[in-house]
Structure 1
Amino acid sequence: MTAQTMLGAAATTGRFSIVEHLLAPRELAAPLHMHSREDEFTIVIMGKIGFLLGEKVFHAGPGELVRKPRDQWHTFWNAGDEPARVLEVISPAGFEKYFEEIGQFFSDGAEPDLEGMAAVSERYGLQMNFESLPELIERFGLVRPLEMDGTPPAPA
């Protein structure tokens, strides 16, 4: 998954930001996680995206909008065999900087610095459940996210 800020806090006086995510076929975007400060709204631009929101599992396609409220465990993935693209509207703004900060913890070919990532996550009020990765990958027939081990996705 890639994350690119399309519209940052400065452009919206902090009200919201927009981040674009590109996902490879069958790629899991992230482990289960929960935001304490932001609500996220995912707009599917291309592909079929699977969502786990609390205990609810569902899919959305191009043009559909999914609300992921703060204080709820969630994740999402490319549920198809073609690349997918989503826009995330994050309210309030600020969390878009998280993606820039965690990049330093993923060196090519090296194990990620999970302690460093945990410290950044804590500053942003984000809880990450890394232990959820194997179960999510097996349950939904996915590949491991690039960011989690520094290597390109491969079949699970």
Structure 2
Amino acid sequence: MRTTVYGPVGPEAGHLSLMGPLTARTMLPAELTEGRMSIVEHYLNPKELAAPLHRHAREDEYTVVLEGRMGAMLGEDVYEAGPGELVLKPRNQWHTFWNPGTERARLLEIISPAGFEQFFQEIGQYYGPERNMDLEKLMAACDRYALEMNLESMPELIGRFGLTPPPEMTAGGG
């Protein structure tokens, strides 16, 4: 028998994953939408890069800014969005996003079809005590989720957009 959940999903619900600067909370998992979509809430601190340039082969992402600001690079185009604005990150499009502002950003990401929300849960387990990523495990997860990631893009993105380097870059790790 299938149990269906309806009604409000509060700030304590869902699976929370901590991945360096990026926080991901799965608010609506695939099993509640028969795989059609999932919803993940992201928090980014001021001047933090969420991810290196990357592209998805299987899903589109629709990001709504709830609080703060979001910078986004889609191909060569750069955008900035504020509360109430939506940014489409289509599959097969190189992209990244960050918080260009001085306050914490809160984003709602709709993923369609669902499934990629599990990537955040999986890689959240690969961070060590100093919040450093196990890169070998990260790249294996990228393969499983049909995600291409350009790790070499991080220094250029951080410099170009005046972002804060993650701890592993400032501690001589990259």
TM-score by length of structure 2 reads 0.82
1:79 counterpart residue number: 100
Could you tell me how far 1:48 is from its partner in structure 2?
1.1
What CA RMSD, in Å, does the superposition of the two structures yield over aligned residues? 1.5
Match of 1:154 in 2: none
% identical aligned pairs: 62
The alpha carbon displacement at 1:141 in A equals: 0.2
Cα deviations across residues 96-152 of structure 1 (Å, max 9, x unaligned)? Answer: 000011112211226421111100110000011100000000000001346xx399x
Tell me the matched-pair count.
Answer: 149
Q: For 1:124 and 1:74, locate their aligned partners in 2 and report how far apart those are by CA, in whole Å.
A: 16
- Aligned position for 1:134: 155
1:49 aligns with 2:78: no
Identify which of 14, 34, 49 aligns with 2:55. 34
Over 2 Å off, 4+ runs: none
8 A contact 1:108–1:150 mirrored in 2:
no
CA distance in 2, matches of 1:118, 1:31: 13
Q: Is the 8 A contact 1:107 1:150 kept in 2?
A: no
CA contact (8 A) 1:25 1:84 kept: yes
Structure with greater helix share of residues: 1
- Bigger Cα displacement from structure 2, 106-115 vs 75-84: 106-115
Q: Which of 81, 99, 112 is residue 91 of structure 1 equivalent to?
A: 112
**In the alignment, which residue of structure 2 is the partner of 1:5?**
26
Where do 5+ consecutive residues of structure 1 fail to align?
A: 152-156
Q: Give unmatched runs, 5+ long, in structure 2.
A: 1-21
The equivalent of 2:129 in structure 1 is 108
Aligned match of 2:42 = 21
Residue type of the alignment partner of 2:130: G
Q: Deviations over 1:56-104 (max 9, x none)?
A: 0010000001110000100000010000000000000000000011112
Q: Which has the larger Rg?
A: 2
